[in-house]
Structure 1
Amino acid sequence: MIHKTALIDPSAQIDPSVEIGPYVVIEGAAEVGPGCKIEAHAQLVGHVVVGEGTRIGRGAVIGGEPQDLGFDPATQSSVILGKKNVIREHVTIHRGSKPGSATRIGDSNFLMVGSHLAHDVVMGDRNILANGVLLAGHIHVGNNTFMGGGAVFHQFLRIGDYCVVQGNGSFSKDIPHYCAAQRVNRITGLNVIGLRRQGFTSEERGAIKELFRLLFCGGMNLGQALESAAAREWPEKAARLLQFVQAPSKKGVCPVRLGRGDD
């Protein structure tokens, strides 16, 4: 199951069921779990943990040094991938930037061709990144979110659960749970179709819509809207949206601009 041209460090721990293609390079103390497939010319650099059933595509580089001018190459850090991820061709995932830190990805994510996760990114489960999506350092991504091709994200921001992001968008502020985002730092509404497909009940969707209108469309500034929303009881899934907006990153939350027309 290991091609004769592959170069594998003796310290690597490779499950016997792993399939390794031509010219793969595993450099360092990697750990590759059962049922994984590493395709031709892919590279695992340093301490990379690959969970069961993960596929790493041709030419992908996992565990490279952070693109940080202050980074010391002697720093011991890692990349940790969960189970059943699909990492397609030429994806790059850089390791953590501080001693003992890690770039972490959960389970069942699909990273399409040429997407990039910078150092210290933390991603949940079942996310889809289309071709050329670029995540800068220290970004946190939730679960079940779709990012369109060519979308780019500035460092240190947060992207919530069940979001949908338009391709070629550019973002330097947080995107809360359940939201649809496009262009430059613009929320255009809720990912209503996605919530329905993911099994949210009509009551849950209704409560989320009501809270969204109160927070972003009620004519108050965000501080006033949060105070008004916090005075009410919300169902669990709607309350998660309120909690996200109450605790933004230093970047703040994207503003809402409803509609699809030009500015």
Structure 2
Amino acid sequence: MPEPGQPPGKTEIHPTALVDPRASLGEGVRIGPWCMVGPDVQLGRDVQLHASVMIEGHTVLEDGVEIYPFSTVGYPPQDLKYAGEPTRCRIGAGTVVRENVTIHRGTAQGAGETRIGRDCLIMANAHVAHDCVLGDGVIIVNNVVMGGHVLIGDHARIMGSAALHQFVRIGHGAVVGGLCGVEMDVIPYGSVLGNRARLVGLNWIGLRRAGVDAGEMQQMRLAFRELYPRSGGGGPLLGERMEKVRQRYGHIGRVVEMLRFMEEPSRRGLTRPGKGGASSKDMEG
């Protein structure tokens, strides 16, 4: 994609590509061999479809989206209730979709749209199901699969071969470990591991990379320990712990964000530390 302020490149469509004349193509679009673009598709400026990419349905690819071979975007959802409604799919500017990725459009029973934010990276063989919403700067690593209606916050990281249950929420800046089965929500900045996900602490590496200073991270560490103490049962209930954390650390914006997430309605509940809680090493990041 050209630098801001630079003119777009020349639109190029390979002779073997099948592009419906009703599709909308922005300036500088490049469509490689054996691609197919349906009649209701909108391609923004400088979109690139490498080869054998299939784009169908009411799908919008914003400026600078790049899609690698054998990926399909905007095809009907794998939902038996779907009856051909004209639902949508949208991918934000600058997002890169690697090989063999499937991204399905929404359902009438859901929000009607599958949406991926700006500057995301969806690595090879991943599946983004109907009605999923991914924020900006999300990274989905190879072979990740997700059920319908999954919500993933900005800058979250989902590592290789993780599986996300339908209706799960992954908070802003959270990280899901590889081969992890996530059946319940993950708090913002949380870190989960395990065959069945358990909360092991906060995403300290991600927080450092985001420029969070050591003082704020220490306050977040203390707040997390109060929310999820290492000791077993017998202590205050989670709601009571949340209120104490709000009183002590309510001046820390990221702590408030975690508390708000925990209070929001959820179809799945919250992922918590496994039996015995997180390890000391995991808690310290």
The TM-score normalised by the length of structure 1 is 0.94
Asked if 2 retains the 8 angstrom alpha-carbon contact of 1:105 and 1:124, the reply is: yes
Task: Name the structure 1 match of 2:242.
Answer: 226
Worse-superposed segment, 112-121 or 230-239: 230-239
Does 2:77 correspond to 1:60? no
Does 2:178 correspond to 1:193? no
Asked if 2 retains the 8 angstrom alpha-carbon contact of 1:226 and 1:246, the reply is: no
Correspondence 1:1-263 to 2 at 5 A: 1-73=12-84, 75-98=85-108, 101-183=112-194, 184-217=196-229, 219-232=235-248, 233-256=250-273, 257-259=277-279
Worse-superposed segment, 234-243 or 92-101: 92-101
Asked if 2 retains the 8 angstrom alpha-carbon contact of 1:31 and 1:50, the reply is: yes
Cα deviations by residue, 1:91-149 (Å, 9 ceiling, x for unpaired): 11100101871101110000000101100001101111110111111111001111111
Distance 2:26 2:267 in 1: 42
User: Which letter maps to 1:119?
Assistant: H
Distance 1:206 1:245 in 2: 20
How many pairs are equivalent?
260
Could you list the runs of 5+ residues in structure 2 that have no partner in the other structure?
1-11
Distance 1:36 1:260 in 2: 46
Worse-superposed segment, 51-60 or 242-251: 242-251
Asked if 1 retains the 8 angstrom alpha-carbon contact of 2:246 and 2:256, the reply is: no
Asked if 2 retains the 8 angstrom alpha-carbon contact of 1:204 and 1:238, the reply is: no
Distance 1:174 1:116 in 2: 19
User: Which letter maps to 1:81?
Assistant: I
Identity %: 34
Asked if 1 retains the 8 angstrom alpha-carbon contact of 2:187 and 2:262, the reply is: yes
Distance 1:112 1:187 in 2: 24
User: Which letter maps to 1:78?
Assistant: R
User: Which letter maps to 2:241?
Assistant: A
User: Which letter maps to 2:206?
Assistant: G
1:248 offset after TM fit, Å?
Answer: 4.6
Worse-superposed segment, 231-240 or 190-199: 231-240
Worse-superposed segment, 87-96 or 233-242: 233-242
1:30 offset after TM fit, Å?
Answer: 0.6
CA RMSD across the alignment: 1.6
